[in-house]
A and B are shown apart, each in its own frame.
Chain A
Amino acid sequence: MKKKNRILLLIVIFIIILLILMAVVTIKNENEKNIANNPKETTYFEDSSVNKLDQMTERDRIIFYFSKYIDNIENGDFETAYNMLYDEFKNTYFDTLEKFESYVKEKYPEIISVEYISFEREGRYYIISVKITDISTDESFEQKFILREYDYDNFVLSFQAE
């Protein structure tokens, strides 16, 4: 009889665990649904949590990464922007943060307007061609950026360093 009770207890514990798991999965899915249905939450320039990136198209994600880089430059956060660059590219063209900072200050206007000209994919590499305009003077130039995404919000980039 004791043995029977023990088995019954184990079965009950097992069922409780399963019910908890079921609840966790349901709550998790509901949360994701809510994020996807809330337009404020999907404004991808505000937050880059994996949940939101997961809702974006491939193109939007890549443009989001690129925008992050440009935002850092506009905000003067050169170190963060520098850290987004591909190591080998950094070593070749900007081996110090100072060199990168001086290039950026010379090349880019204070307020950057970006127009996307083309978006291409070659395997896992994305090539974005953009037109960068200085709003105050209307002067502009074109530049290509190369991006590679390893995981959500895990990417590297490089650009035509000219």
Chain B
Amino acid sequence: MYTDFRLKLRDFYKRNKSKIVIILLIWFVIIVINFILKNYKGPQIPKTSYEPHTAIMDNSEVPKKDQEPIEKLIDEYISYGNNKEYEKAYNMLNDECKKELYPTIEDFKKYIDKVFDSKKTYTIQNYSNVDNTYIYEVNIFEDILATGLTGKEDLVLYSEKFVITKQNNNLSLSIRNFVGNTENHQIYEDDFIKVEITDVVQSYENQKYKVKLTNRTENTIVLADKTEKYEIMLELDNENRSIQNLKDRGIYLNPYESKEVELEFVKFFDESETAHSIIFNAVRVLKSYSGLISKRQEEIDSAVKRYSFKVQL
């Protein structure tokens, strides 16, 4: 039996000798190549803790193929700023950003002159990534290698976020934290007031709602004058956030007045909470309104109506 097996084996070997040798050779070559590739250390690059394309927020990484084009884009923009090539720098911005932040090149020139008041250098750090939108924190400062910080105590930075969006393989740039503008047409109306939301401006850390308000009465309507808590809020999944940066005397409408205002709330671009409505929590329809603290209670006591409403988003 054993002899029979040996004979069969020898016979098989004789018939397939060349094939077996080739297979063994290929196997050996694969092992050697694998060994070389595993052990070969390519050109050495100094290891540093600086990872400009890894997001601070969640350690996500900008796709490798986009990293160099992004660096090039930012470098080109800063270089135009340094050389005061206003038009070239302006043309690098996407249309929405231009429209929202700098409708004319003259506005943009003022910004460039302020930021690039001397030759500046910069550093970038990826901050957050949402789908194809990459947010970079860009620190702009004097060329410290050129000055050696002579005459300065510490490094003074001007910092802002550049938002780079990839669409159809093209990178589009917006600056000063601006992410985008979304049309969101919502209306609320009752016998006293009409509230019309037209646009939402998203910057990295907040949302600004552009709202048209119309007073339908012969009375003054006060929506927010900083005298009450939670006068206007943004309703999210799990919390409500109060209005930010309310100007001067707040938001009020004279009889039959119509005006456009901006309601600003903290709402990060990369957060998971969704906005559902704007709550006008302390609407006061007043027979008379002086804006004086001393007369406030008296005016409230004789109010035509006090109520609240929500505008769904």
Name A residues whose Cβ lies closer than 8 Å to a Cβ of B: 11, 14-15, 18-19, 21-22, 25-26, 28-29, 50, 53-54, 58, 61, 86, 88-89, 92-93, 120-125, 127, 144-146, 148-149, 151-152, 156-162
Contacts and interface: CB of A to CB of B under 8 A. Distances in A.
Contacts of A93: 148, 150
A127 B155 contact: yes
B242 interface: no
B23 interface: no
Nearest to A92: B146
Nearest to A91: B146
A58 B49 contact: yes
B50 A53 contact: no
Interface stretch (B105-113, B137-145, B209-217, B253-261): B137-145
A54 B46 CA distance: 7
Contacts of A125: 123, 144-145
A120 to B, nearest CB: 8
B40 A25 contact: yes
Interface in B67-83: none
Task: Report the 8 A-B pairs with minimum CB-CB distance, sorted nearest first.
Answer: A123-B123, A158-B148, A88-B146, A18-B32, A86-B145, A25-B39, A159-B148, A161-B150
A84 to B, nearest CB: 12
B206 interface: no
Interface residues of B, number: 36
Nearest to B153: A144
A124 B87 CA distance: 29
A49 B45 CA distance: 14
A158 B123 contact: no
B132 to A, nearest CB: 24
B44 A50 contact: yes
A136 B87 CA distance: 59
A149 B157 CA distance: 21
B43 to A, nearest CB: 10
Contacts of B28: 15
A158 B39 contact: no
A121 B122 CA distance: 13
A19 B145 CA distance: 48
Contacts of A160: 148-152
Contacts of B144: 122, 125, 127, 146, 158
Contact of A92 (B46, B124, B147): B147
B293 interface: no
Nearest to A7: B22
Interface string B10-51: 000000000000000100110011011001110011111110
Given A58-B48, A122-B123, A146 B149 contact: yes
A11 B25 contact: yes
B143 A88 contact: yes
Contacts of A19: 32
17 contacts: A15-B28, A18-B33, A25-B40, A29-B41, A50-B44, A89-B148, A92-B146, A122-B123, A122-B155, A123-B50, A124-B123, A127-B149, A146-B148, A148-B145, A158-B146, A159-B149, A161-B150
